[in-house]
Amino acid sequence: MSIPNLSLEGQVAIVTGGGTGIGRSIALEFAKAGADVVVASRRLPVLEEVGREVTVLGKRSLAVQTDISRKTDVDNLVQRVMDKFGVIDI
Protein backbone atom coordinates (compact mmCIF):
# COMPACT_ATOMS: atom_id res chain seq x y z
CA MET A 1 0.00 0.00 0.00
CA SER A 2 1.50 3.31 -1.05
CA ILE A 3 0.84 6.52 0.82
CA PRO A 4 -0.82 9.00 -1.57
CA ASN A 5 0.89 12.35 -2.12
CA LEU A 6 3.84 11.56 0.14
CA SER A 7 7.05 12.94 -1.36
CA LEU A 8 10.37 12.27 0.30
CA GLU A 9 12.36 13.07 -2.83
CA GLY A 10 15.96 13.98 -2.03
CA GLN A 11 15.78 12.86 1.59
CA VAL A 12 17.80 10.14 3.32
CA ALA A 13 15.98 7.83 5.72
CA ILE A 14 17.42 5.36 8.23
CA VAL A 15 15.15 2.43 9.06
CA THR A 16 16.22 0.29 12.00
CA GLY A 17 14.87 -3.23 11.90
CA GLY A 18 14.67 -2.68 8.15
CA GLY A 19 15.38 -6.24 7.10
CA THR A 20 12.02 -7.83 7.83
CA GLY A 21 8.41 -7.17 8.76
CA ILE A 22 7.22 -3.64 9.40
CA GLY A 23 10.74 -2.20 9.07
CA ARG A 24 11.14 -3.71 5.59
CA SER A 25 7.74 -2.36 4.56
CA ILE A 26 8.60 1.11 5.84
CA ALA A 27 11.95 1.07 4.01
CA LEU A 28 10.27 0.16 0.72
CA GLU A 29 7.51 2.76 1.17
CA PHE A 30 10.12 5.44 1.86
CA ALA A 31 11.89 4.45 -1.38
CA LYS A 32 8.61 4.54 -3.32
CA ALA A 33 8.06 8.04 -1.92
CA GLY A 34 11.47 9.12 -3.24
CA ALA A 35 13.86 8.73 -0.31
CA ASP A 36 17.27 7.10 -0.40
CA VAL A 37 17.13 4.41 2.27
CA VAL A 38 19.56 3.07 4.85
CA VAL A 39 18.47 -0.21 6.42
CA ALA A 40 20.00 -1.34 9.69
CA SER A 41 19.61 -4.50 11.77
CA ARG A 42 21.66 -7.39 13.04
CA ARG A 43 21.20 -9.68 10.02
CA LEU A 44 23.20 -8.44 7.04
CA PRO A 45 21.91 -10.90 4.39
CA VAL A 46 18.29 -9.75 4.77
CA LEU A 47 19.41 -6.11 4.81
CA GLU A 48 21.27 -6.60 1.55
CA GLU A 49 18.12 -8.05 -0.04
CA VAL A 50 16.06 -5.04 1.03
CA GLY A 51 18.84 -2.80 -0.29
CA ARG A 52 18.54 -4.50 -3.69
CA GLU A 53 14.77 -3.95 -3.63
CA VAL A 54 15.29 -0.25 -2.88
CA THR A 55 17.73 -0.02 -5.78
CA VAL A 56 15.21 -1.65 -8.13
CA LEU A 57 12.83 1.15 -7.14
CA GLY A 58 15.43 3.61 -8.46
CA LYS A 59 16.76 4.91 -5.14
CA ARG A 60 20.16 4.61 -3.49
CA SER A 61 20.51 2.23 -0.58
CA LEU A 62 22.92 1.28 2.15
CA ALA A 63 22.71 -1.82 4.34
CA VAL A 64 24.55 -1.60 7.66
CA GLN A 65 24.70 -4.45 10.13
CA THR A 66 23.84 -2.76 13.43
CA ASP A 67 22.90 -3.82 16.94
CA ILE A 68 21.17 -0.65 18.16
CA SER A 69 21.78 -1.65 21.78
CA ARG A 70 25.52 -1.07 21.20
CA LYS A 71 26.71 2.54 21.03
CA THR A 72 29.70 1.62 18.87
CA ASP A 73 27.38 0.04 16.29
CA VAL A 74 25.13 3.11 16.24
CA ASP A 75 28.15 5.41 15.90
CA ASN A 76 29.36 3.27 12.97
CA LEU A 77 25.91 3.44 11.36
CA VAL A 78 25.82 7.23 11.55
CA GLN A 79 29.37 7.54 10.21
CA ARG A 80 28.66 5.23 7.25
CA VAL A 81 25.49 7.16 6.38
CA MET A 82 27.30 10.49 6.56
CA ASP A 83 30.19 9.15 4.47
CA LYS A 84 27.86 7.95 1.71
CA PHE A 85 25.03 10.51 1.75
CA GLY A 86 26.32 13.47 3.78
CA VAL A 87 22.99 13.96 5.56
CA ILE A 88 20.36 12.17 7.63
CA ASP A 89 16.82 13.49 7.18
CA ILE A 90 14.62 10.77 8.65
pLDDT band at 3 (very low <50, low <70, confident <90, very high): low
| pLDDT tens per residue across span 48-72 | 999 999 999 999 999 999 999 999 9
Q: How far apart are the first and last CA of the chain?
A: 20
pLDDT at 2: 59
Q: Any idea where the domains of the chain sit in the sequence?
A: 12-80
* Top-tier CATH class for 12-80: alpha beta
